[in-house]
Amino acid sequence: MIRLIRQFLNINVLVILLGLFMLNACRVSKPYERPQVTTGDKFRGQATADTLSIADKQWKEIFSDSRLTTLIDSGIKNNYDLLLAVNRLDISRRRMRQSKLLQLPEFNFQVAAQYSRPSDNSLNGISIKSFLKENHVENYQALGTLSWEADIWGRIRSQQEAALAEYMQSYEAVKAVQTRVVADIAQGYFNLVMLDRQLAISKSNLLLSDSFLVATQKMKDAGMVNLLAVQQAESQKQSTSLLIPQLEENIAIQENALKILTGQTPDSVERNGMLDNMMKYENISSGVPASLLSRRPDVRAAELAVVAANARMGVAKANMYPALNITAGGGLESFKSSNWFNIPGSLFGLAAGTITQPVFRRNELKTNYEIAKLEREQSVLEFRQLVLQAVGEVADALVEIEQLQQQRQIALSRVDTLKLSVINARKLFSSDLANYLEVITAQGNALQAQLELATIEKRQLDALVELYRALGGGWK
């Protein structure tokens, strides 16, 4: 029996396998080609195209505030969005590793024992007695089977390519989440420092409003102004006072948000308190738009989604072609347990090869293939859309940086002008050359100008961080 099995395998199966290897060129799926995308030669708002980019720097080289870098480091370790992305990456890694084994044969082993006692008056009962002189049948079997599918049309290879692309897509997704986490923590920290500055400005202006109210009260007592002047001065002080609890509320909320971003319970956040010199950069280099295809993680993930969809389309097409499965097995079998391990008498073997051609599956296979093609087209459109969006984000950030620089210069001049106007208005008021409304207006305008300057300087830092993120920085 063993010799017969060996002859069958050597003569028939090996011939079939040789033919299969010769048919490797019959793979029906198309190799992946990157979809054509239009990015332009340079970004809008970019003076000249430059191959260098600030995104090539690690985030620790960009941010100079030690409290901020500590927060970012904590966020990378503990942020739950990032931890979830890492978990999805681990799942994809295991699927990818399993896909590498798809071309190996499957081996199964089973042990079975059967006892059958038919009726004495049945045909089976009479037959058993006539042949075995017994009224029951026993059968004991130990069987090992080896089965293998020949990958003629590349279906298994396409499955492996899809699994690898999905794993790489998850890997890029982790980097994309990290870029967003780094940017969100930095912008939240800048907002917190800005609120601190606005709170200090409000408290300083509250002291000025209080001193003006005292002076107005004295002038009323001297008969130089009326009660309305005192009421207006007090209203100005109350308006400034109202800003303080509002800013303190926003500070507490921002602190809570930063703690949650870093995976910690809401609490206070330590900070240095100055918006100046929080980022280190000598010049703002953005590189060329085409570099986003290789540098920005979410764009890379979108392209890998096209790769995976292309491979799945190959699987769907290969499913429409014949499948060849080869099975071989052997073991021990006996009608009596006492003879079960009587070798070679209990040995048996089998070998088979089957070709299965789908004929009528209610149009299921064709529909699956058409859906796979549409899903690939959809992934291509999403990839092109994301590339266009990425180029737009960089262009927006460059324009914002340039315009905010001009706004800051104007805001600085306006603050200086209004500070002088407050001093002059109070002097004129003391000399009875200006009325109280002019003083109140000057103080209100000066307060708003200082608050707006703090907002503009914070927006400048936000724009720099957004440019860094939009270019694909923050994951290194």
pLDDT at position 430, please? 81
pLDDT of residue 44: 79
Matching CATH number, 31-103+155-322+371-470, of 1.25.40.10, 1.20.1600.10, 3.40.30.10, 3.30.70.60: 1.20.1600.10
The residue extents of the domains of the chain are: 1-24+108-150+327-356, 31-103+155-322+371-470
Checking DSSP bridges between strand 137-150 and strand 323-334, what pairing results, if any?
Answer: antiparallel
Q: CA 294 to CA 387: how far, in whole Å? A: 11
The neighbouring-strand residues paired with 145 are: 108, 329
Residue 321 CB: number of other CB atoms within 10 A?
15
CA distance 400 to 409: 14
What's the CATH fold of domain 1-24+108-150+327-356?
Outer membrane efflux proteins (OEP) (2.20.200)
Percentages (nearest 5) of helix, strand, coil residues in the chain: 65, 10, 25
User: 448 in helix, strand or coil?
Assistant: helix
**Residue pLDDT tens, the chain, 476 long:** 445 444 444 444 444 444 444 444 467 778 888 898 888 878 876 666 677 788 888 999 899 888 999 999 999 999 999 999 999 999 999 999 999 888 889 999 999 998 888 887 777 777 777 776 677 788 889 999 999 988 888 888 999 999 999 999 999 999 999 999 999 999 999 999 999 999 999 999 999 888 888 888 888 888 888 888 888 889 989 999 999 999 999 999 999 999 999 999 999 999 887 887 788 766 778 888 888 888 899 999 999 999 999 999 999 998 899 988 999 999 999 887 778 888 888 898 889 988 888 888 888 899 999 999 999 999 999 999 999 999 999 999 999 999 999 999 999 999 999 999 989 988 888 877 778 888 888 889 999 999 999 999 999 999 999 999 999 988 88
> What is each CA distance from 253 to 258, 260, 306, 349, in whole angstroms?
9, 11, 41, 74
Residue type, 94: R
Residue 191 has a pLDDT of 94
The pLDDT, as a whole number, for residue 9 is 42
* Distance of alpha carbon 150 from alpha carbon 20, whole angstroms: 7
**Residue 120 pLDDT:** 75
Give the DSSP per-residue string, 68-91: HHHHHHHHHHH-HHHHHHHHHHHH
The pLDDT of residue 202 = 93
Compute φ and ψ for 38, nearest 5 degrees: -110, 120
Beta strands in 370-429 (DSSP E): none
Burial of 154 (0-12, 13-18, 19+ CB in 10 A): buried
Dist CA 434 CA 225 (whole Å): 11
pLDDT of residue 48: 67
